[in-house]
Amino acid sequence: MKIATRLAGISVSPTIAVMQEAQRLRRQGVDIIDFGPGEPDFPTPEPIKQCGIEAIRADFTKYTASSGILELRQAVADRYNREWGTDFNADNVIICAGAKQAIYNVCMSVFEQGDEVLNPVPYWVTFPEVVRITGARPVDLMTNEQDGFILSAEAVAQAIGSATRGLIVSTPNNPTGAVLPSGEVQRIAALGRKRDLFLVFDETYEHFTYGARKHVSLASFVRSSDQFFAIVGSVSKTYSMTGWRIGYILGNAELISKIGEFQSHASGNPASVSQKAALSAITGDPAIVKAMREEYERRREFVLGAVAEIPGFICCRPDGAFYVFPNITACLKSSGLADSQELTQYLLREARVAVVPGSAFGLDGYLRISYATSMTNLREGLHRIREAVVRLR
């Protein structure tokens, strides 16, 4: 069968592939601990679920405006205005079926054949694939473990070429947990404004930062009328609502309108019931998020300590999200395994633990381990990894 050329190099998301393999082995009766997915293990908070139930009972189950219900769009704008001093309104917001669709919508609306899009490495697995689908070319922009994987505006400026059209930034970062300092966000915003560089900021993990480092939104340094940015967010991680599939984009009203036209043909409206639940989440008690953040911070400390005890693993301390991204090059060298993919296969087979190879994020010699799971799973899974790695030596 002939498949369209635009899909020739596309394969299933590596993180989803890990989850599917873990599920397959579980169905066969294998005791698998899965550190692969970026999915909170907490249930969706009860008040949010109740709003979804109430929407069903009220028969709020029909089509909505393709760009999302007005109340939710305004609630997103209001939150950004309150937290970041912006001047957004509902016309600056579109609701999508998750942050992944939001990123796809932005890229399809802005990038095209002949464009180059800077993609800091390590990157979330979907970024380069979406850029390729648009016809543009993703260009790797390396960050360094020695600098905590922090993207610098100076590196961005040096990488801009004659065909450079955009830059995609994830902060807090998936997979490293790196959080861009305020000064770098401001300097990158200034670059976007000065160099006609379209900035896509994925701020999905914005509420999960630890210690002294705080998330600073690109929204702090833009105006609603600016034409060089799009900010992507989601309720999936923040409120443990991954399956509800609600994300959003903030940007210039003209851009948002055009994305809305595209979405009206691509998918229509996000699920009506999910929109009502998301409205409850965004306007609800922030203590719900605080409790989850504190638990993630506790898990982070445990995981960093446990990873440090695994031979050949060295881990940069993450300031945000809920992943660690240990350097495993010493482990590979001592074991004779070729790369991170081989090690993940070994751990799945011998330790019965699923992790994601660094190569999926554009940087071999690393693993991504999610701590969005129970302390019981973390203790047992990291113990299994350590025992399996010791057997390799």
pLDDT in tens, 245-269: 999 999 999 999 999 999 999 999 9
Tens digits of residue pLDDT in 126-169 = 999 999 999 999 999 999 999 999 999 999 999 999 999 999 99
Q: Which residue has the tokens 């995981």?
A: 303
Residues whose CB falls within 8 Å of the CB of residue 174, separated by 6 or more in sequence, listed in order: 38, 124, 204, 205, 321, 323
Tens digits of residue pLDDT in 193-230 = 999 999 999 999 999 999 999 999 999 999 999 999 99
Half-sphere exposure of 139 (CA within 13 A, CB side): 18
Q: Map out the domains of the chain as residue ranges.
A: 5-44+287-392, 46-283
> Helix or strand or coil: residue 295?
helix
> Which helix (DSSP H) or strand (DSSP E) does residue 333 occupy?
helix 329-335
| The pLDDT of residue 15 | 67
Give the tokens for residue 215. Answer: 């998330």
- Segments of the chain with pLDDT less than 70: 14-16
Q: Which residue has the tokens 């989803």?
A: 16
- Please tell me whether the peptide bond between 172 and the residue prior to it is cis, using omega within 30 degrees of 0: yes
Distances (CA, A) of 76 to 72, 94, 189, 217, 378: 6, 9, 21, 14, 34
- 46-283: which CATH architecture? 3-Layer(aba) Sandwich (3.40)
| The pLDDT of residue 260 | 98
Q: Backbone dihedral region of 207: left (phi > 0), alpha (psi from -120 to 50 degrees) or beta?
A: alpha
Please determine whether the domains at 5-44+287-392 and 46-283 fall in the same fold group of CATH. no
- 5-44+287-392: which CATH architecture? Alpha-Beta Complex (3.90)
| The pLDDT of residue 126 | 95
Task: Report how far residue 369's alpha carbon sits from residue 349's, in angstroms, rounded to the nearest whole number.
Answer: 17
